[in-house]
Amino acid sequence: MTGTESSGVGIKVWSDYVCPFCMLAEGPLHEATRDLDVEIEWMPFELRPHPAPTLRPEDEYLPEIWARSVYPMARRMNVDITLPTVSPQPYTRLAFEGYQYAADHGKAAAYTPRVLRAFFQENRDIGQLDVLIGIASELGLDEGGFAEALTAGTYTGTHQEALRTAEAYRISVVPTLVIGERHRIEGVPTAAQIRKAVLDAQAEQAVARGAACGIDGC
């Protein structure tokens, strides 16, 4: 489960909305943790921030990587995912600022999976404000407030601070999971890998609490 209890193991998941492997990582993450006390936090990482050019599905690179890696993995995992035809691929800064709005209004856990589905299952241009407003409305967020916040850049600073957190953790690929204090998994993990890391982190937290109690007499 995903909880807010202070004793839960923290899992930070760095992703980008145009990364198919980030969508594929969602299933193992939830399978591994559904009965564990964890706090999952989605973290932004822009693979190609503006003004770097984004990829085009009609060029050779994307169809080749999808044929070689994405589609075979998706078939093994039974995940419905398709190379979007949006060209060039959208920048994701605006969608990430939308995530910060969603997080402020209690919809962080639902927002990231919904944006990933919009791009990889519905072929929607998630770089467009109207598309993001539609997603926000589906999640029960206030359309007007969401649109105003993204238009005004209300969450630009928050997003930039989150990107600085990625730099501090030396994130260079997505998905990257950091579980507890020291367990790091890059790429699409198996549920077993995640579960072992969470259980190890739980044990480490228990030892640390025991040591603290020994010092403080709790």
Sketch the domain layout of the chain as residue ranges.
Answer: 9-216
Fold topology of 9-216: Glutaredoxin (3.40.30)
Q: Which residue has the higher pLDDT, 73 or 214?
A: 73
- Taking alpha carbons only, the member of 39, 36, 46 closest to residue 159 is 46
Q: What is the pLDDT of residue 197?
A: 98
User: Which pLDDT tens digit goes with each residue over 69-117?
Assistant: 999 999 999 999 999 999 999 999 999 999 999 999 999 999 999 999 9
Residue range 49-63: mean pLDDT, rounded: 98
**pLDDT over threshold 80, residue 4:** no
Q: Would you tell me how many other CB atoms lie within 10 Å of the CB of residue 86?
A: 18
Rounded to 10 degrees, the C-alpha dihedral 82/86/87/90 comes to -100
Task: State if pTM tops 0.85.
Answer: yes
Burial-class residue 7 by CB neighbours within 10 Å (0-12, 13-18, 19+): exposed
Whether 136 contacts 165, CB under 8 Å? no
**pLDDT over threshold 80, residue 215:** no
Token digits of residue 142? 């206030």
